[in-house]
């Protein structure tokens, strides 16, 4: 037996006991004829003590242990004279009588500590060392905990975890599929699933009633920062339910997770329509940790001679509480912020609500004190507040003001990572116009049902048709979304038609699903959560790759194992494919 | 709300309550002015009643419901006059006052019942209907239950569920990899993992201590019956453990599963060396639900003039209890059985131990009664038993007798599906000789450690080196296996060398792992269970595809979604590959 206890386990109650520990050498130090070794494993750190006087040879060997050596130490647990209150094991130490080096270690290329000296590239190449850092270990353990609690909750609610295939059929629509040449069926390919959508719907048709899976999904996209070619979803579907049932069930799932992972009780999750979210926050994923909602000012700010406003479709502002004291420099900073190309505003109007009841604005030439007061009143501003106003085409102005609102929220410290505010956003549009392709595309996916009361707009005004679709938002990030599905072949055909998919193509790609709808398909609905993102938010971090054991970089490479890589000639031959890489691109 | 209760829920205590049910029409029948509808969902069946006298129109509509229609029924729960004790809901029925057809159904191409009239092909094409059959639903629900209990147990033991990547590097060694062309890295490919072996070892190097995952694995093999190109493993690894720790931990996992899934307490799992398993059962996965172990007869049967035996390396027999009464026809049947090409024995010698103490054998010409008695004594046979003896080259004779033993076990009803006998088989050989390639290959995999006491044979007699490797066997089927791993770079290099892998190749393929061994790799060990097979055995069935929601057929096709399939020209172009299918093979 390598160990009787782990390195986070020993307490005063173990004093005088003979124990074996095994772990990694975090550091060694010599002091007053003694050698101290911090021995580390996943569970904690325990101090080992070697005494020059008691056993010189042993003490000398301990002194020569390098960082990250793997050792086994046997000895007696003793109360420490100088206890370390910062360490759970800090009341005791192990007086070592036997030391075995289980494996040596070269000097690591970076320090295995939270505050490491290693850059991203070297840490990814030596990911097995990076994964030893306590913060990363906590992330991975948090992910484990969340996964277990998700399953525990869903199992308790009668959901069945059912595995769906990873080798499926390529039906590119939206993102690109990863494909897998089939050796047994030359000239044909499997695809890796972008999601198990059609399979979970078939499971509902098959009567499984409640399904879930924590499942890998694949998308061959050009990777933006913090996107991974493979990612994990909590995928769920329910039968004989309406939207209300879904909202309650999964709100309770979040409640369960927050309670059992973070010991936080969350309130009833508020709900907001997509239309309201856009109007009040300029975003379909509002961060409701703070207010500062939009106020539309067209009626009080237009037709008073300021051409910029008069020509705008929308004049809209936010009230930044207590920010009237912002300096010229700070205000210029905000203007520069919204004028950045990524945001693209033409300018920013400010109004300071001075403590003395007067106003100082960047548009004093056009608006008098009384006029500015009507703005302030409309926005519920009080002395000391700062009004920030943007104008332009409605959709753009809202997006720009959304960015500004979030920036101010950051500046004022209103977006605390451990303040968890969930929100349901409802009634999304069914379709959105794809400029490039000049056609309607499904905003969620083509299996989403339109709202019955909007059926008549499908012919006349498709952009106005709302869907039975919902997103769950946490702190301004979409963490999940879904819809009530279509379960009627006729309606499904109608939607494919709206999306400009020729009947031949829809039958070729989704005939199996539409066929299934003809054999007693029940009403069903579901949703999926982005598991990587959920973990990172609940872990208080931004980057999802900090919560993935072996992530890929922005070129889709795993630099540790050096994948992807070339394959053998025999593999090409057996798969009946040939590489046709333009020479300059050959890597 | 579509329903207040499910179809398996109503009992006498619900009598007089107004409820809503939703489900599928199993069947309708008319009797004495009433229409009865069996309404089915995953949870059960409830009888709906429509009365011609009370509401003729409603009753007529009910009479027209077709099989598999999806309906909602509202009404009052009433005690049944003729109760059905075979149905959990059989004490009550629902007197329906409102009927809504939620979706119609075409007539299914086969009956949705356990004893269906649909053949394999049509059931696979309409898998969403096949999945409605109660037996299949029970299989899928059993699989869910086992998965949850596995996780519950491993979580309670401090194992962390950590996801490893699906897009990895191709390192063909043994089975073929499925590969995935990388669009972002033209000319390069990912591979789908045959198992997460190297990643789980890296997680041990990274200090995660205890890892598990219920994970999909992929193998591009020519599919034998009941093999799937994608299959699921319970994959586990532990740090600072010896073989004994692994055996105890996973024996307890099985104990937990058997208890919480089947309510069966299992005893301490017996252990047997590979050498003993081969000697006593002629198999490395003995079915120990029954005895009939091998007895070697060389000393009593050779050198007495029967050339077949005299020339044989091994003469070995089993004693079939109570089978002396087998007829000539039955004995010929057994001889034919072992002479089938798949088994390949030259013949079978029998000795009947007659009730009167005499013997009747197929070799009476060569052996007298006294000689036959020494056989019977050696085999512990008593009057009424039948001795069956095979001879030849040791390994082949054992394999043949193994097949015969299992056949006799079947004939005697000694292999009951609900009699669960687990067994550990230990001390497997490290290597086996691959005739085709004329080289040693790893019997388990190249990361398995040789037994320290056999190190010296690695140079002189590699075939005799035993590994720290173990299999768990259930009822004659291997359900899992693993090993204590190598954690030392030098030893790992030595094993790659033994396997005839040039250093250049081993560094190219596994350099990341050997590199990791140089930075403080701890001793570690693990194993993996075949999850599909485990489910099928615990479900009392033979075919794993009955326990997979969407299996593929023997050509690796999903006939429901028709995958694999052709892909678009643009996909080829983006991936920089070209199809080079010989014309005759184009499909």
Q: Which residue has the tokens 């719907």?
A: A201
Q: Two tokens at A535?
A: 């973990």
Residue A585 predicted with pLDDT over 60: no
Pick from A40, A128, A206: which is nearest to B131 by CB?
A: A206
- Calculate mean pLDDT across residues B462-480: 96
* DSSP assignment string, A430-495: SEEEETTTTEEEESS-TTBPBPGGGTTHHHH-GGG-BBSEEEEEETTEEEEEEEEBP--HHHHHHH
Total beta-carbon pairs less than 8 A apart between chain A and chain B: 374
Which CATH number covers residue B34? Answer: 2.40.50.140
State the pLDDT at residue A367.
96
Report pLDDT for A584: 64
Mind telling me how many Å the CA of A239 is from chain B's nearest CA? 9
User: A36 lies in a domain?
Assistant: yes
Say what percent of chain B tops pLDDT 90. 91
The pLDDT score that the predictor gives to residue B584 is 64
CATH code: domain of residue B317 = 3.30.1360.30
Contacts of A561 in chain B (CB under 8 A): 168-169, 198, 512
Per-residue pLDDT tens over the stretch B100-139: 999 999 999 999 988 888 899 999 999 999 999 999 999 9
- In this complex, is the C-beta atom of A546 within 8 Å of any C-beta atom belonging to chain B? no
A505 interface with B at CB cutoff 8 Å: no
The predicted structure's pLDDT at residue B522: 98
Per-residue pLDDT tens digits for B337-376 = 999 999 999 999 999 999 999 999 999 999 999 999 999 9
Q: Are strands B189-191 and B271-273 parallel, antiparallel or unpaired?
A: unpaired
> Residue A375 and residue A367: Cα distance in Å, rounded?
10
Q: What is the pLDDT of residue B542?
A: 78
User: Other C-beta atoms within 10 Å of B78: how many?
Assistant: 15
- From the list B534, B48, B523, the residue with the least C-alpha distance to B261 is B534
* B74 in A contact zone (CB under 8 Å): no
Burial class (CB in 10 A: 0-12, 13-18, 19+), A150: buried
Q: Which residues of B touch A46 (CB under 8 A)?
A: none
Give exposure, B359-376, as e/b (b: 16+ Cβ within 10 Å): bebebeebbeeebbbebb
Q: How far is A407 from chain B (nearest CA, A)?
A: 34
Closest Cα of chain B to A168: distance in Å?
6
pLDDT per position as a tens digit, A419-445: 999 999 999 999 999 888 888 999 889
- Inform me whether the C-beta atom of residue B460 falls under 8 Å from chain A C-beta atoms: no
Q: Concatenated DSSP letters for A527-550?
A: EEEEHHHHHHHHTT-S-GGGGSSS
CB contact under 8 A, B131 and A566: no
pLDDT exceeds cutoff 70 at B585:
no
Q: Is B353 domain-assigned?
A: yes
Residue B580 in contact with partner chain A when CB distance is under 8 A: yes
* Percent of chain A residues past pLDDT 70, beyond the cut: 99
* Separation between Cα atoms, residue A89 and residue A19, nearest integer Å: 14
The shortest C-alpha distance from A436 to chain B (Å) reads 17
pLDDT tens readout for residues A294-327: 999 999 999 999 999 999 999 999 999 999 999 9
Report d(CA A236, CA A254) in Å as an integer: 14
> With contacts defined as CB-CB under 8 Å, which chain B residues touch A206?
127-129, 131-132
- The pTM of the full predicted model, rounded to 2 decimals, is 0.95
pLDDT band at B582 (very low <50, low <70, confident <90, very high): confident
Query: What angle do the packed helices A328-339 and A394-411 form, to 10 degrees?
Result: 140
Task: List all residues of chain A from 238 to 297 with a beta carbon under 8 Å from chain B.
Answer: 240-242, 245
The residues with which A478 forms a beta bridge, in sequence order, are A473
Residue B226 binned pLDDT confidence (cut-offs 50, 70, 90): confident
Which among B182, B578, B579 has a CA at the least distance from the CA of A566? B182
> Per the CB < 8 Å rule, is B166 touching A42?
no
Lowest mean pLDDT among A37-41, A435-439, B5-9, B447-451: A435-439
CB contacts, 8 Å: B162 with chain A: 140, 143-144, 549
Distance, in Å, from the CA atom of A151 to the CA atom of A147, rounded to the nearest integer, reads: 6
- Residue-wise pLDDT for B293-350, tens only, equals 999 999 999 999 999 999 999 999 999 999 999 999 999 999 999 999 999 999 999 9
State the smallest CA–CA distance between residue A6 and chain B in angstroms: 10
Per-residue pLDDT band at A143 (split at 50, 70, 90)? very high
Backbone angles phi, psi at B258, to 5 degrees: -60, -35
Q: Do A131 and B208 lie within an 8 Å CB cutoff?
A: yes
Point out the domain boundary residue: A68, A103, A138: A103
Distance CA B515, CA A205 (A): 50
Interface of A with B in 385-424 (CB under 8 A): none
- Residues in A closer than 8 angstroms to B164, CB to CB, are 549-550
Residue B303 C-alpha, separation from nearest chain A C-alpha, in angstroms: 51
CA dihedral of A71, A74, A80, A86, whole degrees rounded to 10: 40
**Residue B168, domain member (yes or no):** no
For residue A69, the SS3 value is coil
Specify the pLDDT at position A582.
80
- Report pLDDT digits (tens) over A472-526: 999 999 999 999 999 999 999 999 999 999 999 999 889 999 999 999 999 999 9
pLDDT of residue A435: 86
Domain membership flag for residue A83: yes
Within 8 A of A126 by CB-CB distance, chain B residues are: 519
Domain final residue pick, B411, B429, B463? B411
A259: in domain: no
B208: nearest CA in chain A? Answer: A42
Q: Which domain holds residue A77?
A: 12-103
Asked if B438 and B505 count as a contact pair (C-beta separation under 8 A), the reply is: no
Asked, for residue A576, whether it belongs to a domain, the answer is no
Q: How far is CA B186 from CA A20, A439, B93, in A?
A: 52, 31, 65
Residue of B nearest to A192 (CA): B180
Over residues A272-280, mean pLDDT: 98
Over the stretch A562-581, which tens digit does the pLDDT of each residue have? Answer: 999 999 999 999 999 999 98
Min Cα separation A213/chain B (Å): 10
Rounded mean pLDDT, B255-273: 97
What are the tens digits of pLDDT across the range A120-132? Answer: 999 999 999 999 9
The mean per-residue pLDDT over the stretch A461-470 comes to: 96
Map tokens 């301990």 to a residue.
A62
| More confident call, A542 vs B578 | B578
| Mean pLDDT within B380-391 | 97
Q: How far apart are CA B204 and CA B211, in angstroms?
A: 8
Q: What pLDDT does B34 receive?
A: 94
Any domain includes A26: yes
User: Based on the number of CB atoms within 10 Å of its own CB, is A474 exposed (0-12), middle (13-18) or buried (19 or more)?
Assistant: buried
Asked if B576 and A577 come within 8 Å (Cβ–Cβ), the reply is no
Q: Return the higher-pLDDT residue of B174 and B347.
A: B347
Residue A477 CA to residue A537 CA, distance in Å, equals 9
For B345-460, where are the E strands, in sequence order? 349-353, 359-361, 386-392, 422-426, 431-434, 439-442
The angle at the Cα of B473, spanning B471 to B478, to the nearest 5 degrees, equals 75
Residue B416 has pLDDT above 60, yes or no: yes
Distance CA A19, CA A39 (A): 14
**Do residue A203 and residue B549 have CB atoms under 8 angstroms apart?**
yes
Tokens 């590119």, residue?
A: A172
DSSP class per residue in B359-391 = EEETTTTT--HHHHHHHHHHTT--TT-EEEEEE
**Residues in chain A closer than 8 A to B70 (CB atoms):** 520-522
What pLDDT sits at residue A175?
A: 85
pLDDT tens by residue, A321-332: 999 999 999 999
- Number of domains composing chain A: 2
A497 located within any domain? no
CB–CB of B520 and A24 under 8 A? Answer: yes
**Helix, strand, or coil (residue A62):** helix
What is the spatial order of strands in the sheet that B359-361 belongs to?
A: B295-296, B314-320, B386-392, B349-353, B359-361
Q: At B508, which helix (H) or strand (E)?
A: helix B503-516
Q: In the listed set A40, A72, A103, which residue is the last one of a domain according to the structure?
A: A103
């Amino acid at each position: 037996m390598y160990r009787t206890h782990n390195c986070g386990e020993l307490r005063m109650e173990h004093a005088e006991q003979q124990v074996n520990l095994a772990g990694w050498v975090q550091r060694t130090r010599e002091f007053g004829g003694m050698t101290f070794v911090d021995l580390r494993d996943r569970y904690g750190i325990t101090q080992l003590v070697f005494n020059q006087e008691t056993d010189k040879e042993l003490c000398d060997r301990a002194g020569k242990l390098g960082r990250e050596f793997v050792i086994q130490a046997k000895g007696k647990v003793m109360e420490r004279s100088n206890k370390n209150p910062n360490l759970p094991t800090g009341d005791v130490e192990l007086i070592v009588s036997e030391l075995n080096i289980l494996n040596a270690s070269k000097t690591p290329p970076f320090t295995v500590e939270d505050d490491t000296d290693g850059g991203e590239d070297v840490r990814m190449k030596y990911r097995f060392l990076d994964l030893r850092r306590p913060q990363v270990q906590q992330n991975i353990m948090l992910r484990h905990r969340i996964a277990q609690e998700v399953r525990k909750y869903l199992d308790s609610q009668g959901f069945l975890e059912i595995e769906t295939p990873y080798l499926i059929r390529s039906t590119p629509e939206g993102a690109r599929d990863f494909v897998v040449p089939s050796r047994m069926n030359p000239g044909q390919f499997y695809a890796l699933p972008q999601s198990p959508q059609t399979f979970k719907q078939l499971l509902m048709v098959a009567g499984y009633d409640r399904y879930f899976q924590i499942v890998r999904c694949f998308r061959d996209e050009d990777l933006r920062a913090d996107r991974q070619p493979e990612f994990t979803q909590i995928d769920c579907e329910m039968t004989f339910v309406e939207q209300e049932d879904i909202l309650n069930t999964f709100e309770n799932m979040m409640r369960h997770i927050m309670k059992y992972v973070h010991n936080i009780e969350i309130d009833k999750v508020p709900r907001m329509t997509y239309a309201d979210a856009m109007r009040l926050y300029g975003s379909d994923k509002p961060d409701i940790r703070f207010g500062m909602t939009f106020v539309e000012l067209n009626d009080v700010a237009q037709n008073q001679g300021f051409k910029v406003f008069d020509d705008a479709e929308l004049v809209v502002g936010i009230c930044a509480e207590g920010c009237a004291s912002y300096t010229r420099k700070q205000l210029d900073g905000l203007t520069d912020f919204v004028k950045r190309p990524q945001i693209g505003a033409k300018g920013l109007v400010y109004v300071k609500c001075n403590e003395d009841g007067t106003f100082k604005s960047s548009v004093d030439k056009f608006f008098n004190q009384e006029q500015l007061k009507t703005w302030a009143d409309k926005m519920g501003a009080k002395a000391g507040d700062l009004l920030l106003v943007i104008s332009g085409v409605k959709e753009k102005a809202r997006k720009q003001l959304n960015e500004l609102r979030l920036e101010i929220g950051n500046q004022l410290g209103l977006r605390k990572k451990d303040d968890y505010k969930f929100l349901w956003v409802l009634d999304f549009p069914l379709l959105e116009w794809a400029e490039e392709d000049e056609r309607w595309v499904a905003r969620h996916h083509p299996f989403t049902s339109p709202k019955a009361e909007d059926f008549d707009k499908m012919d006349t005004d498709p952009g106005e048709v709302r869907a039975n679709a919902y997103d769950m938002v946490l702190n301004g990030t979409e963490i999940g979304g879904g819809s009530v599905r279509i379960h009627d072949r006729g309606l499904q055909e109608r939607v494919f038609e709206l999306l400009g998919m020729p009947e031949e193509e829809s039958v070729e790609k989704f005939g199996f699903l539409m066929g299934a709808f003809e054999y007693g398909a029940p009403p069903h609905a579901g949703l999926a959560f982005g598991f990587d993102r959920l973990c990172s938010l609940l872990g208080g971090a931004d980057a999802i790759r900090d919560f993935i054991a072996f992530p890929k970089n922005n070129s889709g490479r795993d630099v540790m194992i050096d994948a992807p890589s070339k394959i053998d000639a025999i593999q090409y031959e057996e798969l009946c494919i040939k590489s046709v890489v333009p020479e300059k691109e050959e890597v």
